[in-house]
Chain A
Amino acid sequence: MVHGEEQWTSGAGMAKMSRRTFLSRATTTMVGGIGALMGIPTVAYLVSPAKARGGLGVDRLPLGPISKFPVGEPTLFKAAIERKTGWVTQTEELAFYVFTEDGRNFSAMSNICTHLGCRVRWITDDEQFFCPCHSATFNKNGTVASGPPPRALDQFELLVEDEQLFVVGKVEA
Chain B
Amino acid sequence: MIEKIDLWFEERMGWRPIWKALALRNIPKVTWAYTLGSATLLVMVNQILTGILLTIYYVPSPQDAYNSVSFITNEITAGWLIRGLHHWGASAMVILAGLHMIRVVVHGAYKFPREVTWFTGLGLLAVTMAFGFTGYLLPWDQKAYWATTVGTRMLEVVPVIGPWLLRFARGGEELSAVTLTRFYGMHIWVLPALLMLLIGIHMFLVVRIGISAPPKASETEEEGPELEVEA
Contact = CB atoms under 8 A, between A and B. Distances in A.
A-B interaction = yes
Contacts of B53: 42, 45-46
A14 interface: no
Interface string B63-74: 010011011000
Interface string B42-75: 1000100100010011000000100110110001
Counting contact residues on chain A (CB < 8 A from B), the size range is 10 to 19
Range, interface on chain B: 10 to 19
B77 A44 contact: yes
B97 interface: no
A42 B49 CA distance: 9
Interface string A45-67: 11111010000000000000000
Contacts of B42: 34
A48 B71 contact: no
A3 to B, nearest CB: 10
Contacts of B56: 45-46
Interface stretch (B78-86, B101-109, B131-139, B193-201): B78-86
Contact of A45 (B26, B71, B78): B78
B81 A41 contact: yes
- Chain A interface SS verdict (over half): helix
A40 B49 CA distance: 13
A173 interface: no
Given A86-B68, A87-B67, A87-B68, A48 B49 contact: no
A45 B77 contact: yes
A48 B76 contact: yes
A38 interface: yes
Contact of B82 (A34, A41, A51, A87): A41
Contact of A47 (B46, B77, B81): B77
Nearest to A43: B78
A41 B72 CA distance: 13
Nearest to A47: B77
A62 to B, nearest CB: 25
Given A38-B49, A42-B49, A42-B53, A87 B70 contact: yes
A86 B49 contact: no
Interface string A95-137: 0000000000000000000000000000000000000000000
Contacts of B71: 86-87
A88 to B, nearest CB: 8
Contacts of A45: 53, 56, 76-79, 81-82
A25 B77 CA distance: 32
Interface in A78-99: 86-88
Contact of A41 (B26, B64, B68, B78): B78
A147 B57 CA distance: 47
Interface of A: 1, 34, 38, 41-42, 44-49, 51, 86-88
16 contacts: A34-B42, A41-B81, A41-B82, A42-B53, A42-B82, A45-B53, A45-B56, A45-B76, A45-B78, A45-B79, A45-B82, A46-B56, A47-B77, A87-B67, A87-B70, A88-B67
Given A42-B82, A45-B82, A87-B64, 9 more contacts: A38-B46, A41-B78, A41-B82, A42-B78, A45-B53, A47-B77, A48-B76, A87-B68, A87-B70
